[in-house]
Homo-oligomer: A and B are copies of this chain.
């Protein structure tokens, strides 16, 4: 079974609510928006990602006969309702910020406009897809900002949370500016450049570290990156220096070395010195092991001579912020704005647009969130991407998304580019305040309730 494409990858309550909508004939147009409620201190911005997989999901949405049979076997649903699901497809409209757009809390990045059963049913998986990639892209962008001229490679598949998390983390980090990934399937599926070296086990399986280097070099003559920390990092570096002329006689050039443990900055300095003294100034130094944007910043600030970084677990799990406080909320039904007022989780009603103003240098200055019908100065960030269940245009390729992200990151206010604490100004427009008050007057409980 292909888990990722099953419509049953949803919360039970979506289906029980759909039974309710079916029974009562509720099928008017609903408007839902996906947004992040707040960020924890220390995280200043987000990078939108996951739209492509979300649109694929909407296009492919359907119940298979086997799924409907199984749902019938649960005894939870009426025959008429299940029959209605046979022909259910997503026929709605989608507005969204393009992938790679910087955004902030309270700004919707995706809006679904569709008959309420459709718009409701897709909630769980849309959140699941947008949350994951936005989480990882936002995390990856921070390493990109800290090490803009370095080779950054996603190494996180093994500790990513399952298959899809690893695959999509490769995509999200690449679009945020990473150079590539070690995840082979991401190369095949998304055309992302692949990077890889060797594991400690390859060294350990040989009786002799130098022999392991020779074997690896001959097996991957175009990609000789040798792992030098299995036993003694500096001793291994001397072996690399000794081997280089012998390999050169076979036409093989050592491309790089990798260190994965200990004080990476300190080892990097010693290794660089040994390599340079041995005439291997061209050999690049690649570091991995418990890296994140803070370690990169500190290593580079300390002048560690590292050319590339393999960033793994802390990227793929976004370990300092393993989830976003995000939601997909009903903003309008049957032509009337809607709002929840649950404590700490109140929402702004209505169909919204986000406008962004830039200064003369093109840097972001401030955003305003308002109703779609209330134009503001600046650039509108949400654009129509799907109408009647069909895309309005082919999706941009991943390279274009990556350029858009780079352009957006370059426009961040300087404190955010340095990862400093900074509250980017996001104004909730008067039109939204007014609409919220109006909705409240219509739904506030009265003593007669």
Contacts and interface: CB of A to CB of B under 8 A. Distances in A.
Given A13-B199, A15-B184, A232 B445 contact: yes
Interface string A216-248: 101110110000011110010011000000000
A204 B339 contact: yes
Identical chains in the assembly: 2
Interface stretch (A89-97, A323-331, A374-382, A408-416): A323-331
Contact of A330 (B201, B216, B339): B201
A167 interface: yes
Nearest to A196: B12
Given A261-B342, A339-B204, A443-B231, A159 B184 contact: no
A445 B235 contact: yes
B323 A319 contact: yes
Interface in A151-171: 155, 157-168
Contacts of A160: 128, 161
A360 to B, nearest CB: 40
A345 interface: yes
Contacts of A441: none
A20 to B, nearest CB: 4
A449 B235 contact: yes
Nearest to A227: B13
A1 B186 CA distance: 12
B164 A163 contact: yes
Nearest to A129: B162
A202 interface: yes
Nearest to A126: B158
Nearest to A10: B184
Interface stretch (A22-30, A300-308, A422-430): A22-30
A113 to B, nearest CB: 14
A72 B216 CA distance: 19
A199 B261 contact: no
5 contacts: A2-B3, A10-B185, A20-B202, A76-B222, A235-B445
Interface of A: 1-4, 6, 8-17, 19-24, 26, 30, 32, 67, 70, 74, 76, 116, 120, 123-125, 127-129, 131-132, 135, 155, 157-168, 182-185, 187-189, 194-205, 209-210, 215-216, 218-220, 222-223, 229-232, 235, 238-239, 260-263, 313-314, 317-319, 322-324, 326, 329-330, 333-334, 338-345, 443-445, 449
Given A13-B198, A159-B326, 9 more contacts: A2-B2, A9-B157, A11-B182, A76-B222, A120-B199, A200-B329, A205-B334, A232-B444, A261-B342
